[in-house]
Amino acid sequence: MINVSLTQLEYLTAVDTYRNFNQAARHCLVTQPTLSMQIQKAEESLGVIIFDRSKSPVVPTPLGEKIIEQARLILRESSLLGEIASAGNQQIAGDLRIGIIPTVGPYLIPRFLKSFVISHPSVTLQVNELQTDAILELIQKDQLDAGVLATPVERPGVFELPLYYEPFNAFLPDDHPLIGRPFLAPDDLNLSDLLLLEEGHCFRNQALQICAHDVVHEKPQATFISGSLDMLRRLAEQGFGVTLLPQLMVLSWDQKPVNLKQFGEPAPTREISLVYSRTYLKRAIMDALADAIRASVPREMLKKSGSVLKPLMGAGS
């Protein structure tokens, strides 16, 4: 008879996550011998070797990968019991771990966080700033409950709850020939003139889509790729090129500079959503979070408008 406990399943998933028995034991708040013994008992009960201990870092065997996948599913379903009880009591309480992409976090978090924690004192919110692929991976591993990022991502098992639609803005150097225009069109921009975020940022992919009409014919004198939108704005101010900025970033400024240009309709826009892998787990907290975020952004951004750009271009982007 197969007899594997939920605790043993937690230890299995922890070793899979950290690929190290010592780190997994620290995460589970037990000693390494205790964790190793429980995993060995699980292997004996199942009659299979789950981890290849001859490799460093430790990796699951092919059959072990399937068992760990099922273990995560069992743990996810078991945790529903408490969530169902909380929902029945109409309680908004508990821990919520969310990831948020770097081109959203600095401009969105200050708008809603204070009011959210005041309104929901029984919720403990942990916010991690990460790129899209990392957020999706951690959600699927149950190391994050949800993410706030640009969608659609179109990943199996990932649910998307649209929050708002954010237009792109262009930031031009002082002497740029387009500086006198009241509005811009995507065709006005040259790819060779564009200052971009480094690879891995979905905002970079969307910026490239806006300039997809253009082909670079000449290599610029200097090329800048940064992980910071503020750095790109400062470089644009110094005349090194044009960059694109999200609406919430420019709304955080005290004054609107003449260098900032909006796009005419239909304006290139990104969809920002709350993404998660479960249809019920911590849903009450996530609904409260979604409501707080929507209440913090301008009302005109709640309606889908403009030309919504996809954030991901190809597998692994």
Q: Are 194 and 236 in contact (CB under 8 A)?
A: no
Residue 120 domain boundaries? 91-164+271-305
Statement to judge: residues 108 and 173 lie in one domain: no
Three-class secondary structure assignment of the chain: CCCCCHHHHHHHHHHHHHCCHHHHHHHHCCCHHHHHHHHHHHHHHHCCCCEECCCCCCEECHHHHHHHHHHHHHHHHHCHHHHHHHHHCCCCCEEEEEEECCCCHHHHHHHHHHHHHHHCCCEEEEEEECCHHHHHHHHHCCCCCEEEEEECCCCCCCEEEEEEEEEEEEECCCCCCCCCCCEECHHHCCHHHECEECCCCHHHHHHHHHCCCCCCCCCCCCCCEECCHHHHHHHHHCCCCEEEEEHHHHHCCCCCCCCEEEECCCCEEEEEEEEECCCCCCHHHHHHHHHHHHHHCCHHHCCCCCEECCCCCCCCC
Distance of CA 287 to the CA centre of its chain: 17
pLDDT for the residue numbered 278 = 66
Contacts of 175 (CB under 8 A, 6+ apart): 239
Statement to judge: residues 156 and 294 lie in one domain: yes
Within a domain: 229: yes
Instruction: Please report which confidence band the pLDDT of residue 168 belongs to, taking 50, 70 and 90 as the band edges.
Output: very high
Within a domain: 181: yes
Statement to judge: residues 100 and 16 lie in one domain: no
Among the candidates 35, 50, 78, a domain finishes at 78
Within a domain: 74: yes
- pLDDT, mean of residues 194-223: 70
Statement to judge: residues 159 and 288 lie in one domain: yes
Q: What is the CATH number of the domain that holds 277?
A: 3.40.190.10
Mean pLDDT of the chain: 87
pLDDT for the residue numbered 208 = 85
Among the candidates 78, 101, 121, a domain finishes at 78
pLDDT for the residue numbered 282 = 79
- Higher-confidence residue of 182 and 90: namely 182
Q: What is the CATH number of the domain that holds 48?
A: 1.10.10.10
Query: Residue 63 has which token pair?
Result: 């059959």
Q: Is the pLDDT of residue 266 over 60?
A: yes
Token pair 């043993």 is found at: 8
Q: What angle do CA 257, 258, 263 make, to 5 degrees?
A: 105
Domain count, the chain: 3
- pLDDT, mean of residues 295-304: 95
Statement to judge: residues 183 and 252 lie in one domain: yes
Q: Is the pLDDT of residue 315 over 50?
A: no
Instruction: Please report which confidence band the pLDDT of residue 314 belongs to, taking 50, 70 and 90 as the band edges.
Output: very low
Q: How far apart are the first and last CA of the chain?
A: 45
Statement to judge: residues 243 and 189 lie in one domain: yes
Statement to judge: residues 158 and 282 lie in one domain: yes
Statement to judge: residues 285 and 207 lie in one domain: no
Q: Is the pLDDT of residue 45 over 60?
A: yes
Token pair 């940064």 is found at: 226
Statement to judge: residues 279 and 135 lie in one domain: yes
Statement to judge: residues 25 and 159 lie in one domain: no
Distance (Å, rounded) from C-alpha 189 to C-alpha 284? 44
- pLDDT, mean of residues 160-188: 92
Statement to judge: residues 158 and 281 lie in one domain: yes
Statement to judge: residues 96 and 242 lie in one domain: no
Q: Is the pLDDT of residue 218 over 80?
A: no
